[in-house]
Amino acid sequence: MNDDGVYYPIWGTCLGMEQMTTWPLDPPQNLLSNCTGAEAIPLPVNFTEDASTSKLYGNAPSYILDTLANEKITPNFHSFCLSMKTYLSNPALRSFYTVTTTNTDSSGLVYASSMESKQYPFYGVQWHPEMINFWHSKKVERGITNSMSGAMVSQYCANFILEEASKNSNSFKTYAEEGRFLFNSYHSIYINMFETYVFTDSDVPDFD
């Protein structure tokens, strides 16, 4: 769609970013590394040289960048990741994506924690910006806490992808068609403490 002139942004969080790593590979393959040293921990990010010219971080306010770089603010809940060793050794990944931040898990593995496509409006973050506002007390003992600065980082990411999405000119033909794609038209369940929307044919409401 982007090649045909339709601005179609994609944002991948955690598993979403992991799946995005397969896109440049022909045939698609799993090049992820075991990254269990980044389970349920908050981390500051390490900005790469390309971050200052990236879409996500290049125009970010200084207080957002300072928070990300200096506070343990990014929630990490992943068992796998794209190691920088793999990224740097794979020409297809290097030509398609720019890594904008990195992190190091407790075993010393350096991995890509943010990336974006060089050609398309595709953005991936291994951490969870949407979760910063919703920690519960049991996570506090792991160093994960609520903070105003964290909430502002979360909102910045949400505003960024909202602005990107507003550049897309597609629209639904009818209210009924639009209704089939609204999250609140579906049932949600809790999986591992996270509210999850499950999309099945039986859940699709009849708007006609």
Domain range summary for the chain, segments of one domain joined by +? 10-170, 172-208
Is 79 within 8 Å of 15 (Cβ atoms)? no
- Average pLDDT for 48-57: 98
What does the pLDDT read at residue 190?
67
What does the pLDDT read at residue 134?
72
Active-site positions read 14, 128
Lowest mean pLDDT among 75-84, 92-101, 167-176, 182-191: 182-191
CATH placement of domain 10-170 = 3.40.50.880
What does the pLDDT read at residue 135?
64
Q: What is the mean pLDDT of the chain?
A: 88
CA pair distance 10, 165, nearest whole angstrom: 9
What does the pLDDT read at residue 115?
98
